[in-house]
A and B are shown apart, each in its own frame.
Chain A
């Protein structure tokens, strides 16, 4: 299993059998589906059905020590930016996706997250966990007039 785990983050594992190769593809595709379902316009610049695209992104993440947990869409922003494929609309949607993923993956008593992107100076992005069993989590942004410049690519704050 260890070799299989490693194969998701490097192209150096060469001796996978056919089933392992297809399983690896399925795992990459599950990430591709997540992104394209939440942000359909991603496919205009980054084909989420392309195995080589997904493989390249995961290996890039590993080499750069980027986050692949709920912050994976923030890593994708930096990846697309490096490849000169990023636009503001896409960045906003991918930041909101990270907010959304946080509501599922955070298992603390924190209830709200705010993400500020240094490239989207006029908006702050939020997600709030749901307090009621029949209500969905809330995703939104607030508009800003004079956002202070930040040296950080993303500033993330979590709240009780």
Chain B
């Protein structure tokens, strides 16, 4: 198992560097769209010989124009050529509706009506990037008629994209009564999923639901589910994500605990 940490930008660099100095970290998952114009030699200095992977947050490939996506893809391909990431991943998320932007990325609808549109968009974005794209599962909050895992199963089958499986997102979705986390095991097995995320989450202060915050330690439920996954596949990479409340000791603790599994 390769254990990594995420790196979203300059804001958390101090905590990240403390983790790297004090912990055995195999790779760094870079939120690459925050580094599109960055001199790669300065990224390599921080990697310090470690491998990297690319995670995309804001391509907004379901909404962006072909021209914008092609331009972004060209920049990503140049970074890919120089930094040789283990994989490139993105989110299948809604950033706007009828040209009105949401405050943050929301979950797509898993209805049959939506499938063809999403399938086409994934195929196009993947073709611009000229490599297999891994798609991350969402930490569902609102239950839907159709299951996310079923939608992804068909989407992966019909696009040749891969799954970037976020262990804690599936736990959150189950706690929010959206779908059983075990529904994903068949997909992890059938699509030979090798790349994973895990992070902390919190109960929202209002209302009975849980939110993917990346702000605290990994939960027992997430560790137990990861153990189940490791019974299917031991040769995985997993990024321990932190995007708020940057206590490097907690982050480092999570890295060490995951490595013990």
Which residues in A have some Cβ–Cβ distance to B below 8 Å?
1-2, 4-6, 8-9, 18-23, 25-28, 30-31, 34, 61-62, 67-69, 72, 104-105, 107-109, 111, 129-137
> Are A27 and B207 touching (Cβ within 8 A)?
no
Contact A22-B206, Cβ < 8 Å, known A8-B102, A133-B42: yes
Query: Considering only CB atoms, which chain A residue lies closest to B59 in the complex?
Result: A107
Say yes or no: A23 contacts B209, CB within 8 Å: yes
Tell me the B91-141 residues at the A interface (CB within 8 Å).
94, 96-98, 100-104, 106-109, 141
A135 to B10 CA separation, bound complex (whole angstroms)? 6
A106–B194 Cα distance when bound, in Å, is 31
Q: Which residues of B contact A34 (CB under 8 A)?
A: 103
User: What per-residue 1/0 map shows which CB atoms of B1-23 lie under 8 Å from chain A?
Assistant: 00000000011010000000000
Q: Which residue of B34, B144, B204 is within 8 Å of A26 (Cβ)?
A: B204
Cα A132 to Cα B11 with chains together (Å): 13
Beta-carbon contact of B42 and A23 below 8 Å: no
- Measured CB to CB, the nearest residue on chain B to A129 is B37
Once the chains bind, are B38 and A109 in contact (CB under 8 Å)?
no
Contact B58 A28 (CB under 8 A): no
CB contacts (< 8 Å) of B33 on chain A: these are: 107
Asked, given contacts A19-B209, A25-B206, A30-B104, whether A133 binds B38 with beta carbons under 8 Å apart, the answer is: yes
Roughly how many angstroms separate A133 CA and B46 CA in the complex, as a whole number? 8
Stretch at the interface among B68-76, B224-232, B233-241: B68-76
A104 and B33 alpha carbons, distance in the complex (Å)? 8
Q: Decide if B257 is an interface residue (CB 8 Å cutoff).
A: no
Task: Answer whether residue B191 sits at the interface, using C-beta atoms and an 8 A cutoff.
Answer: no
Q: Is B45 part of the contact surface with A, judged by Cβ < 8 Å? A: yes
Can you list 29 A-B pairs with a CB-CB distance of less than 8 A? A1-B108, A2-B97, A4-B142, A8-B100, A19-B142, A22-B206, A22-B207, A27-B104, A30-B103, A30-B104, A61-B100, A67-B101, A68-B100, A68-B103, A69-B96, A104-B34, A104-B58, A107-B59, A109-B71, A109-B75, A133-B10, A133-B13, A133-B35, A133-B38, A133-B42, A134-B46, A135-B10, A136-B10, A136-B11
Identify which of residues 200-249 in chain B touch chain A, using a CB-to-CB cut-off of 8 Å.
Answer: 204, 206-209, 211
- Chain A hits for B207, CB < 8 A: 18-19, 21-23
Contact status of A68 and B101, CB under 8 A, knowing A104-B58, A108-B72: yes
Question: Which residues of A lie under 8 Å from residue B38 when comparing CB positions?
Answer: 130-133
Q: Which of A2, A26, A108, A109 contacts B206 (CB 8 A)?
A: A26
Q: In the docked arrangement, what's the CA distance between A107 and B211, Å?
A: 27
- Cβ B37 vs Cβ A111 within 8 A: yes
In addition to A5-B106, A131-B38, 6 A-B residue pairs with Cβ atoms within 8 Å of each other are A4-B106, A4-B142, A8-B100, A23-B142, A107-B58, A109-B37
**Closest B residue, CB atoms, query A5:** B97
**A62–B109 Cα gap in the complex (Å)?**
22
Asked if B36 CB lies within 8 Å of chain A CBs, one says: yes
Q: Report how far A108 CA is from B108 CA in the complex, Å.
A: 25
Q: Which residues of chain A come closer than 8 Å to B43, judged between CB atoms?
A: 133
A16 to chain B, nearest CB (A): 10
**Given A19-B142, A130-B38, are A27 and B71 also a contact pair (CB < 8 Å)?**
no
Closest to A62 in B: B100
